[in-house]
Structure 1
């Protein structure tokens, strides 16, 4: 029986490529040593919530920096942020804010500086993505379009920015269009490939994504770019179900990254990979290492909350989620906290989070973000399943990735249309159709749909598989999977179809 909190009428809104190199042993040793010590590659240690900093004047405390030292440090930080933004690499949030201020002054003084406008737009995109503040996206679009108006020919910086903006807004057709234009304008630029690969993923064209990754891996990239290239390879390998290869690539990326914010982003990614395979200790270790490097790494904050909840530490989990949700917040994290509250029986707190989710989604939509996938997921479980079906059917027509296939299949199941639901759930989990990722939620959804269709043998297998992949995948879904398995009992395997004479 499904016991999820449901409030009707509360809609959220009006195979590896040949020749790939294995990770080098020395890079792995660097990262293992760094994680054991709580810091990566000599980056400055930042503290987790509840930890204390050394007080001024005590042993180990650094003297206050003078104005000239601070000025040089700020200039160096802006230069690092500029390099990161123009190459699509994660930058620290304070550096981004400083860079934005500098570029705003520059475009006021030099309004015909196309590159300055492009850098400003790209910085807005990255800050908006980092803070979940979609209000930065219209600013980014104005700056990037101004750059293209000032210089339309071979303006690869602005085209890269427009592709990144489209990805931040979940507009994969636009991201593909701009990334292809950027690549055509300057063939061989490595930085044009990651957004193009992401766009193909979102459109469900996994063969094109793999081919473009092969092209990216065949380029001669500099030392600074290699971690980002490895991180992109890791994401593609993860989506194809090659877990070990994904971990190896991202481990090397984290060890080789040159800036703390970039390292933190890759460590958070390693935490996510560990979480997805149910390794809670490894996940928590990576999330906390990421936060020591970059306390503004919200994906690590939310990941830490998710992991602490699975470890049976709900108070700490809520505190970690609250840190992730400070200021603006990623709507997906808001939904997760609501479902955590619901799993704890705190329905009033859960409904308060869902109301907060409605507010966050409206803001994101106002900033041009396509939130129909998230809305569909929410409505399927907590609102109107038919609203979810209608939204997700349109999303599937526009950009048919496996995330949408899974969500649409589940929405159809919740609406009682299980035969049609099975089609989409199969797409999401069938390697031949692109669903190579080993996902406990996707496999859980498939098993529940099969159970409703009285396909008890496959249902039992898939529910067991979901719990093997990650026995902690959802505070609401895991108990539901266990109840369904208990109800199925010892179901005999269905006989194989007879061979044709």
Structure 2
């Protein structure tokens, strides 16, 4: 049998002759969304081998076995699975289950390497699966994979619609719940996301479910629970790829607590298992920069962008270069960001949030505001979007309109130094000095290294506010427009919007 040729930069898989049967008729596919890139994995249903033979040994079989356990496959094994299914489908184009497997595998690879071209391949494969066996005839595999693909592209309403359709038809299919969690979080429905995470825990144990639980605890602000659950997830992880993803999660939690040395240690442990793990490279770069080890940080950012060229990483690297006074290098990173967003957009990926964050602080705030208003209008109301929209309103001179969005971001529960900083600056502009002082101090207490550009500004703003009046103000948040109290007078001029 002729070996499948390499196309579009994909490694050739095993020849069609190495496989004589489909991988299983009840295979489910569900990838994680763009908000959880580090742990992105195919989570295929518990009935993987129930009514079909187990796959033959080899890398494609290992990828399927990892998916069955809810663990990410190694990238070489994932490439082998893609090649294997393509070869099989040349001879068996009517196998809708294998089309669904192929589409889900493309989605995972595209997410793991930030390769948006794979998303177009994924959609074509999944549409072929539905053409062979439509959704109304019970093609659950393709529906759930389409939900995961929608989330990976940042289309959370569509991701929710596909996953909810599967849950209604098969409420015990645990693989529907990771897709639901990502969709709900992208839409800002955290109550539903937490409920879905609890349902997942009831249906499935192991590292994948525990990692989801840790993220849910983090979003509620339950740091101790999040860390303990993430440690358990790492202990239960199967294989280097999943172990690395769990160690990355522990690194992120340490970073958010303001512990860059501990964070760097966790990221380094992940990189010992998967040397090109993009999220851990970017995380370690961030932590090294916070420790003043900028040359090493720049090295890791370059490696991260080579392994996983996300625009978010280019933004982080650019801000570190800017903080170091290397404006030319910063400009190069910002151009990379814009180019990556444009490229991904041609494959249906929504990069509005990261582009708006860049424009708000480094480009055109009014353009950022336009983009973020559109995101809010389409139902994308996550904490991140609320925070970014509030900050864009503030940066365009609309501090009063900005405050409700800043409050929404901080009041959801997550302890974010960036969110607290933004809220504090907005309150400062409005003359709510007690609240501003509290939130700026909270930002620095949460993580004094949260941004190479903004953390120093938080310290400056807090110093400018000075100490609170003796005995404390009667109200930390005076009604807007009210006269200043006798012990805490307003400054002669309201501070201009800070960056």
**Counterpart residue number, 2:420:** 443
Question: Paired residue for 1:364?
Answer: 344
Tell me if structure 2 keeps the 8 A contact 1:154–1:186: no
Tell me, in whole angstroms, the C-alpha distance in 1 between the residues paired with 2:87 and 2:425.
56
* 1:86 CA displacement: 5.8
Q: Distance in 2 between matches of 1:259 and 1:145?
A: 32
Partner of 2:280: 300
Q: What CA distance in whole angstroms lies between the structure 2 residues aligned with 1:455 and 1:389?
A: 24
**Deviation (angstroms), 1:87:** 6.3
Shift of 1:491: 3.5
Measured in 1, the distance between the counterparts of 2:369 and 2:352 equals 10
* Alignment length (residue pairs): 417
Aligned to 2:254: 274
What's the counterpart of residue 439 of structure 2? 462
2:103 counterpart residue number: 121
- Is 1:395 paired with 2:372? no
Say whether 1:99 aligns with 2:81: yes
1:490 maps to 2:467: yes
Hey, what's the Cα distance between the residues in 1 that align with 2:313 and 2:386?
21
Classify the secondary structure of the residue corresponding to 1:288: helix
CA 1:141/1:88 → structure 2, altered by over 3 Å: closer, same or farther?
Answer: farther
Match of 1:231 in 2: 211
Distance in structure 2 (CA, Å) of the matches to 1:101 and 1:259: 22
| Other-structure match for 1:423 | 404
- 1:249 maps to 229
Distance 1:89 1:145, change over 3 A: farther
Q: TM-score, normalised by structure 1?
A: 0.81
1:328 positional shift: 5.3
Residue 441 (structure 2) pairs with residue 478 (structure 1):
no
Contact kept? 1:202, 1:400, Cα under 8 Å: yes
Contact 1:447 1:460 in 2 (8 A): yes
Which runs of structure 2 are paired with 1:329-340 in the superposition (5 Å)? 329-340=309-320
> Is the 8 Å Cα contact of residues 278 and 307 (structure 2) preserved in structure 1?
no
Would the alpha carbon gap of residues 86 and 148 (structure 1) be closer, same or farther in structure 2, given more than 3 Å must change?
A: farther
Q: Does 1:341 align with 2:321?
A: yes
Distance 1:88 1:365 in 2: 29
How far apart in 2 are the matches of 1:87 and 1:120?
Answer: 18
- The farther-off stretch of 411-420 and 323-332 is 323-332
C-alpha deviations, 1:12-61, integer Å up to 9, x for none?
xxxxxxxxxxxxxxxxxxxxxxxxxxxxxxxxxxxxxxxxxxxxxxxxxx
SS in 2 for 1:133: coil
Q: 1:132 aligns with which of 107, 110, 114?
A: 114
Kindly tell me: are residues 278 and 448 of structure 1, through their superposed partners in 2, closer, same or farther at Cα, counting changes over 3 Å?
Answer: same
CA contact (8 A) 2:112 2:308 kept: no
- 2-structure distance, mates of 1:439, 1:334: 21
**SS of the residue 1:325 aligns to:** helix
Q: What residue in structure 1 maps to residue 145 of structure 2?
A: 161
1:309-351 per-residue CA deviation (whole Å, 9 max, x = no partner) reads: 0011000000011110116501100110000000000000000
Structure 1 residue 85, shift from structure 2 partner: 4.0
Deviation at 1:113, TM superposition (A): 0.8
CA 1:142/1:290 → structure 2, altered by over 3 Å: closer, same or farther?
same
> Which piece of structure 1 moves more, 75-84 or 387-396?
75-84
- Does 1:452 pair with 2:429? yes
Pairwise CA distance, 1:125: 0.7
After the TM superposition, which residues 42-121 of structure 1 pair with which residues of structure 2 at under 5 Å, given as runs? 75-85=57-67, 89-121=71-103
Any conservation in 2 of the 1:160–1:192 contact (CA below 8 Å)? yes
2:185 aligned residue: 201
Shift of 1:165: 0.8
Q: Which moved more, 1:407-416 or 1:79-88?
A: 79-88
SS in 2 for 1:326: helix
Q: Is residue 386 of structure 1 aligned with residue 363 of structure 2?
A: no
Q: Partner of 1:23 in structure 2?
A: none
Contact 2:184 2:190 in 1 (8 A): yes
* Aligned counterpart, 1:10: none
Task: Select the structure with the greater relative contact order (CA < 8 A; seq sep ≥ 6).
Answer: 1
CA distance in 1 between partners of 2:142 and 2:246 (Å) = 25
8 Å Cα contact 1:159-1:179 kept in structure 2 = yes
1:93–1:296 Cα contact (<8 Å) kept = no
Structure 1 residue 352 and structure 2 residue 332: aligned? Answer: yes
Q: TM-score, normalised by structure 2?
A: 0.81
Q: SS state of the match for residue 112, structure 1? A: coil
Secondary structure of 1:128's aligned partner: helix
Contact kept, 8 Å, 1:85 with 1:119, in 2: the verdict is no
Change (3 A) 1:187 1:254: same
Whole-Å separation in 2 of the counterparts to 1:174 and 1:89: 24
Root mean square deviation, CA, Å: 1.6
Offset, 1:201: 1.2
* Distance in 1, Cα, partners of 2:354 & 2:144: 26
Separation of aligned partners in 2, 1:155 and 1:83: 21
